[in-house]
Structure 1
Amino acid sequence: MDYLEFKITCKKEFSEILIAELAEVGFDSFLETDAGVEAYIQEELFDRASYTEVIEQYQELAEISVEEGKMPKVNWNEEWEKHYDPISIGNEVLVRASFHPANPEVKYDILINPKMSFGTGHHATTYLMLRHQLEIDHMGKSMIDIGSGTGILAIMAHKLGAATIEAFDIDNWCVENGNENFELNGMTEVKMGHGTILEVNPSGPFDIVMANINKNVLLDEMEVYVKLMKPEGTLFLSGFYEQDVPDLQYRGESLGLKLGHQKSKDNWAAIAFTRK
């Protein structure tokens, strides 16, 4: 299986935006570099028109230049070992790969062997959702992780004492990787589902509903999320920019929700809703 390689040079503040946009058009692995982003996609899945549309959208603003190539039989574990650094949230959380040493002083140790950039803690939205999780009681609660990616938010819920956890993603690679990460963290009873929220049809209701996807999907699916919430439940959303918060707030309020805490990092945001 050959991979196409795109070495993208861009302004630093656009690296995460390009990762998000390229993931939407089929790219499945990314490495952030000092110059920008290296993006990879299976050759047979590459859609030149969709890729070009993304690049042209940000070409001028991000000052993009691209070097294209091909990489046969990529050893992603080796590539990640070269580039993946542990992520810490104070002395509370350490997100690390299995080849990194543990830190006994950290309260919650999360093992992630990622196959893609999203959900590793490096992306600001994942970091923000983890911080939200640290501030709420999970003990004995039920939690659902919508668009779970590497499974990190579900793993955090497990570490915080959640009694029941569901997680799912539309990407087969995420499901495979998420289940591997669940096993690494002792979550043998949790298996990641595959499909959209309507295809998976979670049973619910849940005390904690989390969705880290993108603005358009969140707006479209929020009514379903609300139906999954217990009366005293909390809905956490991320995957959008700070300037998008009013649109999500308006949609939430139209569904009987009240905006609570908001966190921001690098222009990305994560918000919490409860029922009015």
Structure 2
Amino acid sequence: MSNTIYLGYYFKVKPLHPAVEILIAELGYAGFESFVENEDGVTAYIQKSEWNKGVLDDIHILNSDEFEITYTFEDIEQTNWNAEWEKNFNPIIVDDLCSVRAPFHDKPDTKYDIIIEPKMSFGTGHHETTYMMIQHILKNNFTNKSVLDMGCGTGVLAILAEIKGAKPIEAIDYDNWCYLNSLENVERNKSKHITVLEGDASLLINKSYDIIIANINRNILLQDMKTYASCLNENGMLFLSGFYYEDIPIIRAECEKHLLKFEEKLERNNWVSLKFLN
């Protein structure tokens, strides 16, 4: 049986900007979940279970007269991702405080340093949503706080939460690759207070946390908001991302329905991240 569960789309874009940003936004709405920008355009990855023949039908920029965009696509074997990763990944630094890098990168001079090897997992820090969630963690007090990282991807946010003093921490993802990759990255960073679980919000019954981090997508957030609110301790903090500026009203309305109070918004290339208080 094949272990191929992703498709890789290779888009060549002329001119690159702002076309690449628009393309990534539209692909995100269509179900693509990981993006790697390069000098020719962008590579986008989608799970085969989310793919259909019309997956690009609503990508309006592909029919724009302003840009020239061509693409090819292929099945991505699990064993191929390391080569793609090493070829395309550059270390990132967030607010001059936190670096996210691969094992083969030199250690930068930052206060916090995280080493990850994401394979097919989402959450390298390059995507706007992960970047903003890192910013939230850097700005807020995590010392001795119990934390949930929901939709943990590579585990990078849980790892940073522990570095900032949080404990205990649970990192949950429904995707098996993300689960296994988070386990690897937790060990790689010598984290001692993170428990990685494979599953969804059904694992949260009778649990409670001081801080919940949920970087998923709009529909899942809306579906599970009631559960998040019920798990959040008094005076707890909820950090959300994985959606666009236009989604703020519906996300905020759902949070306020469960008595969560809006506190702060971060925005990056039309992606947003929101902070709520219980």
Shorter-chain TM-score bucket reads: 0.7 to 0.9
Counterpart amino acid of 1:201? L
* Cα displacement string for residues 35-69 of structure 1 (whole angstroms, at most 9, x for unaligned residues): 33334578xx467xx43332111044575532234
Q: How does 1:226-237 map to 2 (within 5 A)?
A: 226-237=229-240
Identity level (%): 39
**1:187 correspondence with 2:188:** no
- 2:95 corresponds, among 90, 98, 106, to 90
The equivalent of 1:14 in structure 2 is 22
- 1:223 corresponds, among 223, 226, 242, to 226
Counterpart amino acid of 2:112? Y
Counterpart amino acid of 1:229? L
Structure 1 residue 19: Cα displacement: 5.5
- 1:266 corresponds, among 265, 269, 274, to 269
The equivalent of 1:113 in structure 2 is 117
- Secondary structure of the 1:51 match is coil
User: For the residues of structure 2 that align with 1:143 and 1:208, how far apart are their CA atoms?
Assistant: 5
User: For the residues of structure 1 that align with 2:135 and 2:185, how far apart are their CA atoms?
Assistant: 20
The equivalent of 1:246 in structure 2 is 249
- Secondary structure of the 2:59 match is helix
The equivalent of 2:164 in structure 1 is 160
- Secondary structure of the 1:119 match is coil
* Cα displacement string for residues 219-254 of structure 1 (whole angstroms, at most 9, x for unaligned residues): 111010001100110111000011211111111111
User: For the residues of structure 1 that align with 2:182 and 2:38, how far apart are their CA atoms?
Assistant: 25
User: For the residues of structure 2 that align with 1:207 and 1:167, how far apart are their CA atoms?
Assistant: 14
User: For the residues of structure 1 that align with 2:25 and 2:221, how far apart are their CA atoms?
Assistant: 17
**1:66 correspondence with 2:66:** no
The equivalent of 2:82 in structure 1 is 77
Residues 62 and 208 (structure 1), Cα distance of their counterparts in 2 relative to 1, 3 Å cut? farther
Counterpart amino acid of 2:239? F
| Structure 1 length-normalised TM | 0.87
User: For the residues of structure 1 that align with 2:135 and 2:76, how far apart are their CA atoms?
Assistant: 37
User: For the residues of structure 2 that align with 1:102 and 1:230, how far apart are their CA atoms?
Assistant: 37
- Secondary structure of the 1:113 match is coil
Two-structure CA RMSD over aligned residues (Å): 2.5
- Secondary structure of the 1:193 match is strand
The equivalent of 2:179 in structure 1 is 175
- Secondary structure of the 1:137 match is coil
Counterpart amino acid of 2:72? E
User: For the residues of structure 2 that align with 1:254 and 1:166, how far apart are their CA atoms?
Assistant: 26
Residues matched between the structures, number: 266
| Structure 2 length-normalised TM | 0.86
The equivalent of 1:206 in structure 2 is 209
Structure 1 unaligned spans of 5+? none
User: For the residues of structure 2 that align with 1:257 and 1:208, how far apart are their CA atoms?
Assistant: 13
- 2:129 corresponds, among 125, 128, 141, to 125
